[in-house]
Amino acid sequence: MMFDDSRERGNLMHWNVDRGFGFIARDNGGERIFVHVNTLQHASIWAPQFGMRLEFQPVPEARDPRRFRAVDLRILA
């Protein structure tokens, strides 16, 4: 698979099981990215693990376009 330069990579650095969301630390050192349980399940990720390597598409949040969320996740081996 080729790496699309609009996509980013990072590690899952926080996961709140009770609330169903977490954050990804970007490889480029930018602000962390919000990720919701539905996005993980859509990518067939059922048990998120701390440090999991991911590729994702960052998209602006509807309520605050200065913040981003991860969509179209893929696990990196």
pLDDT score of 69 more than 50: yes
Q: Residue 41: its pLDDT value, please? A: 83
Residue 43 token pair: 């990518």
pLDDT score of 71 more than 80: yes
Q: Residue 46: its pLDDT value, please? A: 82
Model confidence pLDDT, tens digit, residues 8-19:
999 999 999 999
Question: How many CB atoms are located within 10 Å of the residue 76 CB?
Answer: 11
Model confidence pLDDT, tens digit, residues 42-57:
888 888 889 999 999 9
